[in-house]
Structure 1
Amino acid sequence: MNNQQFDEQPRRVVNADVGLNTFLTKMYGWMALAVLLSAVSAYFVSTNQALLSTMTGSGMWIGLIVWFIFPFLVNGQAFKRPTVSFVLLMVYALITGGIFSVYSLVYSGTTIVSAFVSSAVVFIVMALYGTVTKRDLTRVGAQATAALIALLVALVINMFLHSAIIAYVFSFVGVIIFTALTASDSQKMKTLYLKSDGSGNVTSGLAVIGAMQLYLDFVNLFIFLIQIFGGAGSSRD
């Protein structure tokens, strides 16, 4: 009896590790695919004058409305219909790329590439840290979320002030906030998986939600970094 208990314990640990690795691979893989689709979409639209003209007109407002609605649809369908939720995430990534194509009219190719590569490096480092660290990042995530709310309010106020200096400073604040959120969100999704029952739908649903959240972290890192690089004098004349 005792031997059987000792034999089963390592097996449970191994199975848990395998399940966690599978979950993390799926979540980060889907997030990476979403980023890739956004990059391809942005490049395709930016090189097509007709589509680019649409995105700078009324199409931009339609795209932005859909852009804000889709995350709620993705999260709402995650546990009910994981496959549908995954498809919605990919569509969202394509829409995001289309919206971001307008950056080609404002920033140089060097600025865009520099911001993208920098975002990728920061994201990978912080996501890895959040996944492997033993430190509880819950408080860090809560503080970053509170700071994000304050930043959004300040950005709205600055829309009336039109201060380029304030916007530039806020870009650095935004990078710090989403750097912290990347680490805390990575740890949060790992914790949620370990607390789940590990069933197929739950695992897939959590993977989609995690991919969506981390994708948003990456996108916002990119937005603030491109403003920093552009404000440093690399914008298109």
Structure 2
Amino acid sequence: MAEFETVRRPGVGAGVRTTTYDEGLRAHMSKVYGTMSVGMIITALAAWAVAGLSVSGVPTEYMIGEGKYLTSFGVAIYASPLKWLVMFAPLLFVFGLSAGISRMSAGAAQIAFYAFAAVMGVSISSIFLVFTGMSIVQVFLVTAIAFAALSLWGYTTRKDISGWGTFLFMGLIGVVVASIVNIFLGSPALMFAVSAIGVLVFAGLTAFDTQRLKNEYLQLAGTQGEAYLGHAAILGALSLYLNFINMFMMLLSLFGNRQ
């Protein structure tokens, strides 16, 4: 936050510097949110398309509801060993993207992010088989409103919330570990606890990451080139995208109406 205040400190040329930084910051954050939004659209379309290919009214041995049966494609990704690859592919993908993005061009990094968004859509496509379409839409809208409010607060607040980082990271690790453990335990109580804590963790991360992205730009815009800022925008979009997706999934687990 010190750099932010320095930019706005009156002096010779302060008005010019403020205008330059404000315009650059707006452009940078617009790219972050724009990239994230395109990723969300890709995820939604991929999830909907895969769910549509997975279910039909033609009877098979895999009945998932009245008049609903898994197709051979649905059996492959939901009821065969391939389901583990589908489940953990986004986690492996995001680690690879985070580690390798510095060696990519900005354009390649953006394409990789969109590919990750498609993989995430395949991974979460089962929500269309488990929850009603109306509850999915309702929870998505609630998540979007909450995300916008939290991100706006993180962007505009003068309070330094960088100290939240360690606490939120520890909470994130706990949520991830408990979620993986519960895949094998199948405990409804643990699932409820993970979802409730997860909502709080990803809500906090939304505000924290928004302020972090803003401050990083103000600190580095004058010393780093366009290539670095392009990569930073992709990584920023990835951070906020993951916060949104995870908050949505946690809220859906808590409040979604199951079919």
What is the SS of the residue equivalent to 2:89?
helix
Question: Which region of structure 1 is more displaced relative to structure 2, 29-38 or 56-65?
Answer: 56-65
In the alignment, which residue of structure 1 is the partner of 2:132? 108
In the alignment, which residue of structure 1 is the partner of 2:99? 76
Which blocks of at least 5 consecutive residues in structure 1 are unaligned? none
CA distance in 1, matches of 2:83, 2:11: 61
In the alignment, which residue of structure 2 is the partner of 1:216? 242
For residues 5-44 of structure 1, the aligned pairs below 5 Å read 8-44=13-49
CA distance in 1, matches of 2:152, 2:11: 32
Instruction: Report whether the alignment pairs 1:225 with 2:251.
Output: yes
Identity %: 27
Deviation at 1:66, TM superposition (A): 3.0
What is the SS of the residue equivalent to 2:158?
coil
Tell me which amino acid in the other structure corresponds to 1:142.
T
CA distance 1:160–1:70, shift in 2 (3 Å): closer
Question: Which region of structure 1 is more displaced relative to structure 2, 201-210 or 99-108?
Answer: 99-108
CA contact (8 A) 1:79 1:201 kept: no
CA distance 1:76–1:159, shift in 2 (3 Å): closer
In the alignment, which residue of structure 1 is the partner of 2:168? 144
Which residue among 55, 64, 82 is the counterpart of 2:77? 55
Question: Which region of structure 1 is more displaced relative to structure 2, 198-207 or 154-163?
Answer: 154-163
What is the SS of the residue equivalent to 1:47?
helix
What is the SS of the residue equivalent to 2:159?
coil
- Compute the TM-score of the two structures, normalised by the length of structure 1: 0.88
Deviation at 1:189, TM superposition (A): 1.1
What is the SS of the residue equivalent to 2:163?
helix
CA distance in 2, matches of 1:6, 1:149: 45
Which blocks of at least 5 consecutive residues in structure 2 are unaligned? 1-9, 55-70
Higher helix share: 1
Deviation at 1:58, TM superposition (A): 4.0
Which residue among 195, 201, 226 is the counterpart of 1:200? 226
Tell me which amino acid in the other structure corresponds to 1:200.
E
State the Cα deviation string for residues 156-186 of structure 1 (Å, max 9, x = none). 4545543212311321111011000010011
CA distance in 1, matches of 2:194, 2:84: 24
Question: Which region of structure 1 is more displaced relative to structure 2, 173-182 or 102-111?
Answer: 102-111
Tell me which amino acid in the other structure corresponds to 2:94.
P
Aligned-residue Cα RMSD (Å) equals 2.1
CA distance in 2, matches of 1:180, 1:10: 33
- Compute the TM-score of the two structures, normalised by the length of structure 2: 0.81
What is the SS of the residue equivalent to 2:13?
helix
Tell me which amino acid in the other structure corresponds to 2:169.
T
For residues 159-178 of structure 1, the aligned pairs below 5 Å read 159=183, 161-178=185-202
CA distance in 2, matches of 1:55, 1:111: 24
Deviation at 1:111, TM superposition (A): 2.1
CA distance in 1, matches of 2:93, 2:191: 27
CA contact (8 A) 2:168 2:205 kept: yes
State the Cα deviation string for residues 133-160 of structure 1 (Å, max 9, x = none). 1111112232121122233344445455
CA contact (8 A) 1:74 1:86 kept: no
Deviation at 1:63, TM superposition (A): 2.7
